[in-house]
Amino acid sequence: MASTMGLLSRRSLAQLPDVANPRATDGDAQHEPNWDERFTLTVGQESADLVGRDDKVLQAAVDYVARMGGGTVKVLPGTYTLRNSVYLPSKIRLLGSGPETVVTKGPSETLEFADDSDWYDQEITLKNAGGLRVGDGVTLRAKDVSRSGELVIKKTLVARSGNRFKINDGLRQNLWVEGAPTCTSVFPLLTSEYTSDVVIEDLVLDGNRENNAHLDGNYGGCIFLQDCNRYTFRNVEARNNNGDGFSFQICHDVRVENCWSHDHADLGVHPGSGSQRPLISHCKLERNGIGLFWCWGVKYGLAEDNQIRDNRDYGISIGHNDTDNVMRRNEIVGSGKVGLLFRDDGRGLDFWANRNTFENNKIIDTGDDTGVAIDIQGQTKDLKIANNELRETRRPMNRTGIRIGSAAQRIELADNTIEGFANSIVRQG
């Protein structure tokens, strides 16, 4: 038996022949010829294959291209104002025309329920319908009357009689009047679930923060993805959202390259729970609550060459079971509280942000009079923090370069420059 297992192991290390001359073969997504021309469909406001200026024309375009097996939707200059999310299918490229292509949404409104809806219902009744229309994207919220917490459900309105609306599928939660349920016309601009191999390039996503209700990054953002793989965002400006800029939950091999995410209520880029191998590179993350937020269980990610400036709380925050990530050559300036925070939100036996590397970065002018450039909390261990430049150009006050909590272990500090702080390194306990 042992010899058989050894043979199988050796076979598993064998190299397959290189694919030198691929053909288009049914079902083979790994290798395909490099075609000179692929299907492209244009969307514009005057002269294009599809003409319009809202979510309907963009949705029609991406669905048409997906039916062709993939290709490019080229969005011509103009402002496209959405009443619902654009739901992205697999194997498409959504290509804007640079800053002249702006995708946004109008003001949201929040309306109260007039009647109970049970978990098996596919309809809601409101006290008044306000400006809602069939086809609108909405978020339903209520107190969970059977448990503590809040229910948050995203739906589309598909039919109407007065103040009574049918939604696109069943609620699967109880929205009872005793839980003060509401219906709000708020939604992510671009969203998807269970899709893959999508590229978004050269456009602006404006969340109209001042006129929209808050929707946090577990449910929304300028971009919100759930259970998706191999998405690339390149040269995308995400701005002014009452929530996150880029949020992706349980999504693998997502690349955010040369993007600008700024002036959001919450997070600039949010690699969400369980996301594996995210890449955030050459981005500007400015004036958000937090610039880069590694959520729970984000592993083997890379954040490099980013400008992370003037975020109100933290430049970078990393915590619960976020392990084996690398952060290098980033410049973190003007964070409101901490430049780089290793959070104490571990649960279980060993769910802290272990085995992460932070090297060749700059952290400048962090926090108030007691600000900290790098704060390592909880039972975090096995970090490498090397060749970084930590500088405080204001008066030292009671600021600290690196603070290491009493339960943290095996923190490697090597060749860091720490200048201008009252305390260069503080080991608590």
pLDDT higher at 114 or 35: 114
Q: How confident is the model at residue 6 (pLDDT cuts 50, 70, 90)?
A: low
Report whether 169 contacts 202 (CB < 8 A): no
Q: State the average pLDDT over residues 35-59.
A: 94
Model pLDDT, residue 2: 52
Give the model confidence (pLDDT) of 97-114 as tens digits. Answer: 999 999 999 999 999 999
Model pLDDT, residue 207: 98
In the chain the domains, ranked by start, together with CATH numbers, are: 72-81+96-105+187-427 (2.160.20.10), 110-184 (2.40.30)
Q: Residue type at 180?
A: A
Give the model confidence (pLDDT) of 370-417 as tens digits. Answer: 999 999 999 999 999 999 999 999 988 999 999 999 999 999 999 999
CA distance 260 to 142: 34
Q: State the average pLDDT over residues 314-326.
A: 97
Q: How confident is the model at residue 286 (pLDDT cuts 50, 70, 90)?
A: very high
Model pLDDT, residue 9: 52
Residue 115 tokens read as: 């009647």
Q: State yes or no: pLDDT of 192 exceeds 60.
A: yes
Model pLDDT, residue 348: 79
Q: How confident is the model at residue 20 (pLDDT cuts 50, 70, 90)?
A: confident
Model pLDDT, residue 140: 97
Average pLDDT, the chain: 94
Give the model confidence (pLDDT) of 254-273 as tens digits. Answer: 999 999 999 999 999 999 99
Q: State yes or no: pLDDT of 11 exceeds 70.
A: no
Q: State yes or no: pLDDT of 157 exceeds 70.
A: yes
Model pLDDT, residue 14: 75
Q: State the average pLDDT over residues 274-287.
A: 98
Q: What is the 3-state secondary structure (H, E, C) of the chain?
A: CHHHHHHHHHHHCCCCCCCCCCCCCCCCCCCCCCCCCCCEEEEECCCCCEECCCHHHHHHHHHHHHHCCCEEEEECCEEEEECCCEECCCCEEEECCHHHEEEEECCCCEEEECCCECCCCCEEEECCCCCCCCCCEEEEEEECCCCCCEEEEEEEEEEEECCEEEECCCCCCCECHHHCCEEECCCCCEEEECCEEEEEEEEEEECCHHHCCCCCCCCCCCEEEECCEEEEEEEEEEECCCCCCEEEECCECCEEECCEEECCCCEEEEECCCCECCEEECCEEECCCEEEECCCCCECCEEECCEEECCCCEEEEECCCCCCCEEECCEEECCCCEEEEECCCCCCCCCCCCCCEEECCEEECCCCCCCEEEEECCCCEEEEEECCEEECCCCCCCCEEEEECCCCEEEEEECCEEECCCEEEEECC
Q: How confident is the model at residue 201 (pLDDT cuts 50, 70, 90)?
A: very high
Model pLDDT, residue 149: 85
Return the minimum-mean-pLDDT range out of 17-21, 55-59, 135-139: 17-21
Q: State yes or no: pLDDT of 366 exceeds 60.
A: yes
Q: State yes or no: pLDDT of 231 exceeds 60.
A: yes
β-sheet bridge partners, residue 153:
140
Report whether 353 contacts 381 (CB < 8 A): no
Model pLDDT, residue 214: 98
Q: How confident is the model at residue 69 (pLDDT cuts 50, 70, 90)?
A: very high
Model pLDDT, residue 28: 80
Q: pTM higher than 0.75, yes or no?
A: yes
Q: State yes or no: pLDDT of 1 exceeds 60.
A: no
CA distance 151 to 143: 6
Model pLDDT, residue 319: 97
Model pLDDT, residue 12: 57
Give the model confidence (pLDDT) of 136-156 as tens digits. Answer: 999 999 998 877 789 999 999
